């Protein structure tokens, strides 16, 4: 497979021009880039677990876990190590290659970080890749996670710099960039993307992708979430994103960041097989697998197995290293 040159100087006009292509031309370009860099029928499969749920001091307008929104979500303290290991083993048995642990924190305390580090080491011992998303990190905390062998840190930019303040007021866009820099400097792989359907304008989507693509290094993983509307959150009634505009965003992300995994992330329960097929055609090559995201539902594992079968897709795991029940 040949590879495509990586750029970090995309202009907004260039990105808007990609969005403005006819749908077929955009998807053809995205498919071409995808095929030059990846096996087009292979999908990386991660499983999520919420290790600490709810009561978050941040006010992200989309999130079920903010203490400021009345969403009826039950709060749960940090899970125990054996509970986490059991969930990771179950995910591995289903064919997942990466285990992503999320905590509803503004930032971890050093004491809670000790406990998360034990979890990371135990999940690594199962032979899985590890990812955590714990909120803001200092340079020192990032270095500790790196020493523990953490593979990925998830920290989304979510939307454009210009629209950010209308979604979250308790931290700034630059706070997000600072954490991404700490993670990168510590040598951990970066997972960073955003959410569509927050009421943003098409320009905000282009600006989000511009921000991600013009980081000094592209995030290795770029999750594109469709808002899962949660009753009680300020963005529950936000305008939905048009499904073809969502597919276009996947395609533009693929073109801007040719060697990154683009994850078709939250929102799949609302998407039909046809829309997901278009997203894979546009260059998405990663999903969350398993019935639960953090606090909301994801498609049943069975349904995803059928989807992979229908599309002739296979998971990144070696067929011999996963159980008979694994994703094909």
Residue 197 lies near ligand SF4 (rule: CB under 6 A): no
294 forms part of the interface with ligand DTB (CB under 6 A)? yes
| Assigned token pair, 120 | 């990371």
Q: What is the DSSP letter of 287?
A: E
100 carries an active-site annotation: yes
Q: Give dist(CA 81, CA 326) in Å, integer.
A: 24
Region from 74-82, 142-150, 165-173, 294-302 binding ligand DTB, contact rule CB under 6 A: 294-302
Cα–Cα nearest to 196, from 242, 146, 130, 134:
242
Active site residue 131: yes
Q: Count CA within 13 A, CB hemisphere, residue 239.
A: 7
**Can you give the binding site for ligand SAM, defined by CB under 6 A?**
62-63, 102, 104-105, 133, 135, 155-156, 158, 195, 225, 227-228, 230, 266, 294
Q: How many residues bind ligand SF4 (CB under 6 A)?
A: 8
The catalytically annotated residue of 100, 171, 254, 279 is 100
Please give the Cα distance from 303 to 321 (Å, whole number). Answer: 22
Nearer to ligand SF4, 151 or 158 (CB): 158
Is residue 265 part of the contact set for ligand DTB (CB under 6 A)? yes
Q: Which is nearer to ligand SAM, 33 or 204 (CB)?
A: 204
**Of the listed 98, 131, 207, 279, which one is catalytic?**
131
| Contact with ligand DTB (CB under 6 A) among 97, 133, 160, 226 | 133
**DSSP-assigned letter for residue 240:** P
CB atoms within 10 A of CB 77: 10
| Residue tagged active-site, from 171, 176, 184, 191 | 191
Provide φ and ψ at 233, rounded to 5°. Answer: -90, 150
Q: State how far Cα 203 lies from the chain centre.
A: 21
The correct pick among 56, 91, 131, 227 for binding ligand SF4 (CB under 6 A) is 56
Give catalytic status of residue 63 as yes or no.
Answer: yes
Radius of gyration of the chain (CA): 19
Is residue 296 a contact point for ligand DTB (CB under 6 A)?
yes
- State in Å, rounded, how far the first CA of the chain is from the last one: 23
* Residue 104 vs 322, nearer CB to ligand SF4: 104
Selection from 262, 267, 265, 268 nearest residue 250 by Cα: 262
With binding defined as CB under 6 A, does residue 108 bind ligand DTB? no
Cβ pair 327, 94 in contact under 8 A: yes
Q: Identify residues 156-185 at the interface with ligand DTB (CB under 6 A).
A: 156
* 103 binds ligand DTB, rule: CB under 6 A: no
Query: Nearest distance from residue 218's CB to ligand DTB, in Å?
Result: 16
Q: Which of 154, 276, 286, 315 binds ligand DTB (CB under 6 A)?
A: 154
* Lookup: tokens for 233: 């959150």
Residue 230 binds ligand SF4 (CB under 6 A): no
Question: How far is the C-alpha of 109 from the C-alpha of 267, rounded, in Å?
Answer: 31
225 near ligand DTB, rule: CB under 6 A:
yes
How far apart CA 54 and CA 235 sit, in angstroms, is: 17
- DSSP per-residue string spanning 71-110: --PPPBPPPPHHHHHHHHHHHHHTT--EEEEEE--SS--H
* 279 tagged catalytic: no
Write out the residues near ligand SF4 by the rule CB under 6 A: 56, 58, 60, 63, 65-66, 104, 135
Write out the residues near ligand DTB by the rule CB under 6 A: 48, 64, 102, 133, 154, 156, 193, 223, 225, 228, 265-266, 293-296
Active site residues per annotation:
56, 60, 63, 100, 131, 191, 263
């Amino acid at each position: 497979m040949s590879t495509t040159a990586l750029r970090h100087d995309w202009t907004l006009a260039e990105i808007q021009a990609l969005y403005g292509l006819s749908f077929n031309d955009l998807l053809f370009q995205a498919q071409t880039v995808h095929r030059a860099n990846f096996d087009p029928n292979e999908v990386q499969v991660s499983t999520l677990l919420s290790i600490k749920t709810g009561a978050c001091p941040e006010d992200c307008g989309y999130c079920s876990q903010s203490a400021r929104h009345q969403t009826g979500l039950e709060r749960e303290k940090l899970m125990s190590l054996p509970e986490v290991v059991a969930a990771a083993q179950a995910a591995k048995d289903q064919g997942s290659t990466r285990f992503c642990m999320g905590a509803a924190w503004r930032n971890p305390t050093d004491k809670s970080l000790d406990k998360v580090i034990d979890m990371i080491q135990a999940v690594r011992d199962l032979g899985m890749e590890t990812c955590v998303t714990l909120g803001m990190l200092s340079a020192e905390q990032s270095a500790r996670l790196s020493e523990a062998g953490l593979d990925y840190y998830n920290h989304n930019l979510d939307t454009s710099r210009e629209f950010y303040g209308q979604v979250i007021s308790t931290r700034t866009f630059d706070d997000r960039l600072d954490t991404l820099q700490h993670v990168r400097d510590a040598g951990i792989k970066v997972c960073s993307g955003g959410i569509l359907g927050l009421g943003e304008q098409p320009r905000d989507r282009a600006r989000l992708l511009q921000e991600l693509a013009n980081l000094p290094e592209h995030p290795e993983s770029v999750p594109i979430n469709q808002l899962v509307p949660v009753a009680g959150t300020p963005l529950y009634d936000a305008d939905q994103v048009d499904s073809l505009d969502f597919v276009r965003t996947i395609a533009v992300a693929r073109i801007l960041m040719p060697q990154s995994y683009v994850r078709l992330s939250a929102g799949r329960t609302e998407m039909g097989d046809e829309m997901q097929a278009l997203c894979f055609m546009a260059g998405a090559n990663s999903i969350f697998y398993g019935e639960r995201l953090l606090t909301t539902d994801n498609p049943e594992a069975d349904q995803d197995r059928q989807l992979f079968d229908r599309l002739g897709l296979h998971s990144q795991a070696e067929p011999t290293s996963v159980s008979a029940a694994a994703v094909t």
